[in-house]
Every structure is written in structure tokens, then in C-alpha cells.
Amino acid sequence: MYGPKSLIDKFNFETLDISINPMSQKYYTVIGLETHIQLNTVTKLFCSCLNEYSPNTPNKNICPFCTGQMGALPQLNQAAVQKTIRLGVAINAKIPELTRWDRKNYFYPDSPNGYQISQYENPVVEGGQINFWVEEGGVGKFQPFSVQLTRAHLEGDAAKLLHSGNKTMVDFNRSNCPLIEVVTDPVMTNAAQAMAYVTELQLLVRTLGISDADMDKGQMRFDCNLSLQTEEQFQSDKLPSYRVETKNINSVRALGRSIEYEIIRQAQLLDQGITPDQETRGWRDDKGLSITQRSKEDAMDYRYFPEPDLKILSIDRDDLPTLASLGELPNDKRQRYINMGLNYQIANTFVMQANVGEYFDSVITD
């Protein structure tokens, strides 16, 4: 039920007033992930401002559109669509012939328009699957695992809030940068699976050349939706009545820690007969705990409606890349090495360190 114990050991459980003793009841973890991946296009998604990482020069790459000024209209970046389609083909997803843009309405200081241009009804990528390997139980044994995806849609990023004392400033450099949001089905059950999944996703988008996916630069961030099933819910294959979202996790290790923390926090509440609140929480990795931010919205709360300033996008079947044109993908390469008789650790090293794998391939073909 739980992930690697080494992660649990690092928590400050005094904040939870519990220990690592087994729970009084058995619960089953249900995890779904939303991963935001910034595409490496030259310009932003809906304007011609440069899409670059500029932490030392706030508000360097901005225009009337990405600062939310009245009358400024979006202009779609075709390269961002093409890169998203490459991901869709790589994960064997459905690429619809028609896709549209939607306004996701909410107020927050980093979104001056009061809405985000995103996709809801008709995303660029529908479904799909990511295959990888997981070390279960930390015993050096790896097993193949698959995560089904719900969708991968394009959207413009929000700006970045900078907090200093009692002041909050807004840097619009990140506003309107192109993001793919990759949404999984709720099929993962522990931290090890979730950590292996995001590691494979990072490797995949780098291999495809669509994102640098540098977490230190905020180019890949995770939102984790987690809830616990009771024995009765598990047996009847029924999802819990709530889900807790932990937002803006910026490292694989922090993702694992946040999952382990939430499992124990929610189990403690359920043991007391309390259903955890459906809410959004923020992860404080320096303190090893999550904090309440706001109640968790459902899709209806965002009042999605079609974006009136962008046309419905038609995707020509002749423009779709073939799977073969994408080159050898990470899990295919890993499986090729395993089929040659190499163990998982060596095969994975050759995949993760491409120059080492290329050298090995050149030696065996000489």
C-alpha cells in the first residue's frame, strides 16, 4: 500500500501527530497526475514574445496580450501544435481532426485576463499510454508498468508571483508560454509508480525534442490528485467521494514525499471517521508537509466556454508524423537492450545516458 520506506523515514511526522505504525484500517491509494510541460518553441503560444527562461530580468518578454490588456488578440503558434502532436503519436493517442480552444475562467493575480486559454472539450491529444518499468518495494526487482492517459492538451501558462516580505510582485515573462498538460487516469497506487512515470515522461519529451523539461527552471511541474479507497470501495471498484490535489510540485523526489505524506494524513482522518476535504494543497518540501490553499474546483466551477478569438483548428491527416519518423523511443530502446540479455539497470543506463548507449550500439555493430 505504501511507497519506499526510505521516503517515509525522512518526514517530520510530529506535524501529523502520528507514527509509522500500521493504520487501524486498510486503505487503497488512488493517484492521478497532471504534468505541465513547457514546450521549447522560439515564441510564446499566442503572441510573438520570446519563450525563454529569464529569471534575472523580470517582465523582459511581454506584450499587450501576455499582460492581459484590453483589445489584444491571440495568434496561435503552429510549432506548439506540431510538438504536441508529436507527443500524441509517440504515446499512441488519438489525434482528432478538429480541436478547439476554451476559456478556463478563474481569478488570480498571475492571470490578469481572469481566464486561461486552454482546451477542455476537444484537446489535441486524446487518450494514449506510457510504458515504463517500476522498482516495487525497493528490492532491485523491476517490472513493466503502463499508465493510461486521459488527455494531453495545450494551454497558455500563467505569470509568476514573486513574494518578498509583505509584497507580491508579478513577472509576466512566463505568461502565455506554451504548456502541454498531460493528464493520467487514476491508475497509480504508490509513490514508486508515480515517480517512475514522471521520470519516463521527462525522458520521452526530451527524446522527442519538444521540451527541455528542466524542473529547476519550472519547465516541468506536477499536480497530484490522491485519495484513499476503503476496503468496500476497493472491492466494488468505486472511487472515493473526494480527491485532494497537491499543486506545483517541482521535483521527482518532492512528488514521492508529498504522496507518502498525503497517504498518511488522509488515513489518519479516515481512521477518525472524517472524510478528507476536497481541496487544493501546496507542498512545502523544506518542511515535509502540505498546507491548505483553497477548496478544490470541479470543471463546472471554471465555467468553460469556447474561446471566441480563436478558430477551430483542423488537423490534416497528411501532416501527422509517423511513429517510425520519431526515432527509437526510450522504452523501446530499453526493451531492445533487455531482449539482448542485459539486465534492467544496465539497459536503463544506456537509455538515460544516450552517449553511453550510442557507444555500446556502435561497438556491437562493428
pLDDT tens digits for range 113-158: 889 999 998 999 999 999 999 987 767 789 999 999 999 999 999 9
Alpha-carbon distances, residue 346 vs 95, 338, 356, 360 (angstroms): 35, 9, 10, 11
- Residue 105 — very low, low, confident or very high, per pLDDT cuts 50/70/90? very high
Is pLDDT of 110 > 60? yes
DSSP string, 89-144: HHTT-B--SEE--EEEE--BTTBTTSEEEE-SSS-SEE--EEEEEEE-TTSS-EEE
Give the pLDDT confidence score for residue 11 in this predicted structure. Answer: 40
Is pLDDT of 23 > 60? no
Burial class of 32 by CB neighbour count within 10 A (0 to 12, 13 to 18, 19+): buried
Beta-carbon contacts of 313 under 8 Å, excluding residues fewer than 6 positions away, are 76, 81, 98, 99, 100, 101, 124
Give the pLDDT confidence score for residue 297 in this predicted structure. Answer: 64
Q: Compare 89 and 19 and report the one with higher pLDDT.
A: 89
**Mean pLDDT of the region 163-190:** 95
Is pLDDT of 165 > 70? yes
- Residue 5 — very low, low, confident or very high, per pLDDT cuts 50/70/90? very low
pLDDT in tens, 264-277: 999 999 999 999 99
Is pLDDT of 300 > 80? no
Give the pLDDT confidence score for residue 237 in this predicted structure. Answer: 93
Is pLDDT of 336 > 80? yes
How far is the C-alpha of 102 from the C-alpha of 243, rounded, in Å?
Answer: 24
**Mean pLDDT of the region 329-349:** 95
pLDDT in tens, 123-133: 999 999 999 99
Beta-carbon contacts of 254 under 8 Å, excluding residues fewer than 6 positions away, are 283, 285
How far is the C-alpha of 101 from the C-alpha of 305, rounded, in Å?
Answer: 9
The three grid cell numbers given for residue 113, joined into one nine-digit string: 485576463
Each domain of the chain, given as residue ranges in start order, spans: 5-324, 328-366
**Candidate from 10-24, 90-104, 262-276 with smallest mean pLDDT:** 10-24
- Residue 24 — very low, low, confident or very high, per pLDDT cuts 50/70/90? low
Give the pLDDT confidence score for residue 296 in this predicted structure. Answer: 65
- Residue 71 — very low, low, confident or very high, per pLDDT cuts 50/70/90? very high
In this structure, how many other beta carbons lie within 10 angstroms of the beta carbon of residue 75? 15
pLDDT in tens, 181-229: 999 999 999 999 999 999 999 999 999 999 999 999 999 999 999 999 9
Q: Compare 14 and 244 and report the one with higher pLDDT.
A: 244
Is pLDDT of 12 > 60? no
Give the pLDDT confidence score for residue 277 in this predicted structure. Answer: 94
**Candidate from 185-199, 206-220, 288-302, 319-333 with smallest mean pLDDT:** 288-302
